[in-house]
Chain A
């Protein structure tokens, strides 16, 4: 550095260039979007000229090496206290190179950007564990990571970012005091940052490293690792107060859904509780601007409903998971399994979970306590009996009401119906735990009552999928209710006419909805497809099969009618058998159903013959 005047000029240009590229560039005209960036770049070049060339000793290492180059002897020399105190000029040049690199990346000149970033790395390579240089090195590596990902070379990006991660860890372990910010080298003494601010900026840069790594791992399909890095990013955002509450809450709630897929209910619950707690912070902070309040309120309400929907899924999955572990081969509660799981739970208590918990915990003191309090409201181990199941059910149901407040039928058809479907599923799995058949039947009736009205007005041309789902679910629910009524009736001495009527009407309703579903598969000219698409193959064949069985279950004392029902039944069974003969690849989808259909198609004609013979003398 020649003179103090030259240094002052350099400082001023550097700072102007920063403000040009960070503030002014926002206002650049659309037809000249990089105007300020180009001016900033010129200034940086001037600063570089003012600083003069780097000293020779900094150039002696291999040039242009990737992150791998650091494993050479140079890297070993660079331990703490290895006399690697960087020359002031080298650090300043590195800071300029970093800015130039960023500038070229911003203006889509990747190759030039890469060169500047490499220059930056080279200048501080040996001193990268020094407080003056570590941040420069870290940020240059972050940006090289971005650069290579833009070139679709994710693996290269990964090496840079992992190396940045390692640098942070090594620095924090061996040095630890808050390092200088890359732009601080050009600030006058009195404007130097506080230790706290330095630390905040350094931690933020490292949070970015983790965040980029999360994306890299996702692109490389290392899903578990990606999730872990997302989790850590969220955690650090919270610790360093670098977050927008609503956005953070939504991210955490979404992450909870990942954990649901993995059946990690403890982690899922923690994410959801944190989402709710942080979200309530946003609700409490009144909006400063009056102008946008309504839109903001609307948005907040929607976000709240979204988080509620994540909670619903949590409760539902927890219950369904419990059902899966408790049911026997015909889908009923297996008492032996129940006893076994209860004993097992006693043995384990929360031992395992406590260990895991430390790793994933969000927040510090206050927030953490609030989150833990939130967690206590619902279990994270699958319920084992009706009482436990009901508790989870009730929590889920409350969130159903909350979500429906925003997602009303008018304007949010799909969302609204999805929520009602979840509500119905909650009842369905709760019914599994209910031992009393009459009460179980009533639960299914509740499902019918909530689903049936939805199908009335829905235009199937726009809501085909949802319409089919509703029809199928209604059909199946009626079918289940009929089965329950039959089971109840079997315990009776003899069938009274009321029960018979009930069973028949449930069966007729089930048939009606299965037929509606099958009708929805027809083309606009009302023709049933010759070959079923793969996505509807099983549902369609199951519908046919169930209709066949339903005709078999209808109770009538009229022989003619009985014969008609058997005839209908036979036709549906035959459809299944014929279809699978024509398209053998369908067999796989309806293995069991096909076997039974074949059997019935074989038996029915003989049975019908006998009935006909019995009837004929009277005609």
Chain B
């Protein structure tokens, strides 16, 4: 039985999320409130222009009518939060656990213009990542290679590392290689040793943060080109940057190989999700009747989902994104979601739906369920 996120969702009761030992298994959810754009918003006075206020480091209030709503998350970063502090609170521990052999994934979620790219990459105009505004991805590179160098120093010549990067884009349920702009329509397959992989995707070996930046900015440029050329739009595509970290340790004759993956994901704008059926994290938005009959299947699938525990097969395959990131959503991985919101009152609807989504994501338990026979005979 697939690790149905919905099933796991149901299985979690609020009390459990507070237990210390389980903490690592739950997807961590962070909210980042971006500052409103300069201009009219600021003139509107203290509250009228904003639809939410940050109360504490883990709660915020949404000024909804008639009753304001309070949301609680693992962390709420207000408008003054620096890139550095986002990195420390969200990504640092994930990079560390990648060094320990776990797979790790960091998602940025939110509507277009809520600051996903700024959070993950930094301001778009500069390609060097040395300045203070660089985002989670460049900072993760630095920290990763800092940890690798430290490990190497400690272990001497006995331990070697190999890091490979790939950078792909998912648009319209098709996969493009951002490191090879000539390629098109790559396939997803499962490999018995390597898990889910994109067949034919370029993997570039990197030995330092600087080299990783180059891969990133090269690919990102491809993405931006794609965004302006014919009928593509960046906010409709997901970008997935993956670093595979392999370490090899020689102890006399015993060779110990450990490998893990770090996925850094810039999701498509959440307001588009319902169109493309990607619905990133398998949680259906409480939502809309679609005009074409083609989504009847989705309704039926949802009906089947309800019958939990029973053996059944649902014919609709995961979207490419959920398939690729299967491990991050219920497998053997540490996962964090940064939900970006724009505080402007004009964005109320989207902000509410992002917060609702994030609230649900908090309940996803990121661990596989074993199909255990409950009627083991005790005789």
CA distance A377 to B259 in the complex (A): 50
Contacts of A463 in B (CB 8 A): 195
Report which of B191, B258, B310, B374 forms a contact with A260, defined as CB distance below 8 A: B310
User: CB distance A254 to B315 under 8 Å?
Assistant: yes
CB proximity of A596 to chain B, nearest CB, Å: 6
Q: Out of B232, B288, B368, which one reaches A535, CB within 8 Å?
A: B368
Q: Report the separation of the CA atoms of residues A257 and B315 in the bound assembly, to the nearest whole angstrom.
A: 10
Which B39-98 residues have C-beta < 8 A from chain A?
Answer: none
- Whether B254 sits at the interface, judged by CB under 8 Å, is no
Within 8 A of A (CB), among B111-169: none
Which of A211, A227, A253 is B315 in contact with, Cβ under 8 Å? A253
Chain A residues with CB below 8 A from B314, complex form:
254, 257
Give chain B's interface secondary structure class. loop
Interface size class of B (residues with CB under 8 A): 35 or more
B14 proximal to A (CB < 8 A) = no
Point out the residues of chain A lying under 8 angstroms from B316, CB to CB: 250, 254
**A205-222 interface bits toward B, Cβ cutoff 8 Å, 1 = contact, 0 = none:** 001100110111011000
Cα–Cα, bound, A254→B296 (Å): 10
Q: Of the 9-residue stretches B16-24, B171-179, B209-217, which lies at the interface with chain A?
A: B16-24
CB-CB nearest in chain A for B294? A247
B residues near A593, Cβ cutoff 8 Å:
378
Residues on A with C-beta less than 8 A from B375 are 331
- State whether B310 touches A261 (Cβ < 8 A): yes
CB distance from B134 to the nearest CB of A (A): 30
Q: Once the chains are docked, how many angstroms separate the CA of A423 from the CA of B100?
A: 37
- Find out whether the CB atom of B11 lies under 8 angstroms from the CB atom of A535: yes
Whether the pair B378, A596 counts as a contact (CB closer than 8 A) is yes
> With A258-B307, A459-B192, A596-B378 known to touch, is A465 a contact of B3 (CB < 8 Å)?
yes
- Indicate whether A310 reaches chain B with its CB closer than 8 angstroms: yes
| C-alpha gap A218/B286 in the complex (Å) | 10
Question: Are A251 and B312 in contact (CB-based, < 8 A)?
Answer: no
> Given the complex, which residues of A lie within 8 Å of B300, measured CB to CB?
227, 230, 251, 254-255, 258
Q: A534 to B22, alpha carbons, bound, how many Å?
A: 9
A289-326, CB < 8 A from B: 303, 306-307, 309-310, 312-313, 316-317, 320
- With A146-B291, A261-B304, A330-B379 already in contact, the answer to whether A214 and B190 are too (CB < 8 A) is no
Q: Does chain A have a CB within 8 A of B253?
A: no
Interface stretch of the complex, out of A53-61, A171-179, A340-348, A407-415: A407-415
- One of A10-18, A538-546, A569-577 at the interface: A538-546
B190 touches A535 (CB 8 A): no
- Asked if residues B377 and A411 are in contact (CB atoms below 8 Å), the reply is no
Q: Does B365 contact A (CB under 8 A)?
A: yes
Q: Do B297 and A535 touch across chains, with their CB atoms under 8 A apart?
A: no
How far is B294's CA from A391's CA once the two chains are assembled, in angstroms?
36
Is the Cβ of B303 less than 8 Å from the Cβ of A230?
A: yes
* CB-based contact A459/B194 at 8 Å: yes
* Contacts of A434-477 to chain B: CB distance below 8 A: 457-465, 468-469, 472-473, 476
State whether A472 touches B370 (Cβ < 8 A): yes
Quick check: A465 and B370 within 8 Å, CB to CB?
yes
B301 to chain A, nearest CB (A): 6
Known A-B contacts A254-B316, A261-B306, A596-B378; the reply to A472 vs B372 at CB < 8 A is: yes
Kindly state whether residue A277 has any CB partner on chain B within 8 Å: no
- Measured between beta carbons, the chain B residues less than 8 angstroms from A497 are none
Contact pick for A230, options B12, B193, B296, CB 8 Å: B296
In the complex, which residues 189-211 of chain A have their Cβ closer than 8 Å to any Cβ of chain B? Answer: 207-208, 211
CB-CB under 8 A from B293, the residues of chain A are: 207-208, 211, 233, 237, 242
- B287-299 vs A, Cβ < 8 Å mask (1 yes, 0 no): 1111101111101
User: Given A30-B231, A30-B233, A233-B293, does the pair A317, B311 have CB atoms closer than 8 Å?
Assistant: yes
A182 at the B interface (CB under 8 A): no
Asked if residues B195 and A258 are in contact (CB atoms below 8 Å), the reply is no
Q: Which B residues touch A212, using CB under 8 A? A: 289
Closest residue of chain B to A215 (Cβ to Cβ) is: B289
Chain A residue contacts of B378, Cβ below 8 A: 592-593, 596
Mark the stretch among A39-47, A149-157, A363-371, A488-496 that contacts chain B.
A149-157
Structural contact, A534 and B16, CB atoms closer than 8 A:
yes
Question: Which candidate, A75-83, A349-357, A379-387, A524-532, is the interface stretch facing chain B?
Answer: A524-532
CB distance from A462 to the nearest CB of B (A): 3
- Taking A219-B287, A469-B371, A524-B258 as contacts, is the C-beta distance between A250 and B195 under 8 angstroms? no
Using a CB-CB cutoff of 8 Å, which residues 353-379 of chain B contact chain A? 365, 367-379
Chain A residues 486 to 539 lying within 8 A of chain B, measured CB to CB, are: 517, 524-525, 529-531, 533-536, 538-539
Which residues of B from 219 to 249 have beta carbons under 8 Å from A?
Answer: 230-233
What is the minimal beta-carbon distance from A367 to any residue of chain B, in angstroms? 19
**In the assembly, what is the distance between CA of A307 and CA of B312, in Å?**
12
Interface pair A412/B190, CB less than 8 Å apart: yes
**Residue in A307, A310, A414 whose CB lies within 8 Å of B190:** A414
Contact B306 A233 (CB under 8 A): no
- Beta-carbon contact of A462 and B327 below 8 Å: yes
> Residue A307 contacts which of B25, B258, B315 (CB distance < 8 angstroms)?
B315
Contacts of B331 in A (CB 8 A): 462, 464-465
A213: nearest residue on chain B (CB-CB)?
A: B289
Q: For residues 260 through 308 of chain B, which have their beta carbon under 8 Å from a beta carbon of chain A?
A: 260, 286-291, 293-297, 299-304, 306-307
Q: List 26 A-B contacts (CB under 8 A).
A: A146-B289, A223-B303, A226-B303, A250-B315, A250-B316, A251-B300, A253-B315, A254-B304, A257-B314, A258-B304, A261-B307, A262-B307, A317-B311, A409-B192, A418-B2, A457-B192, A464-B332, A476-B376, A483-B377, A524-B101, A529-B21, A533-B365, A535-B369, A539-B370, A592-B378, A593-B378
Binding site for A on B (CB under 8 A): 1-3, 8, 11-12, 16, 19, 21-22, 25, 100-103, 189-196, 230-233, 258-260, 286-291, 293-297, 299-304, 306-307, 310-316, 327, 330-332, 365, 367-379
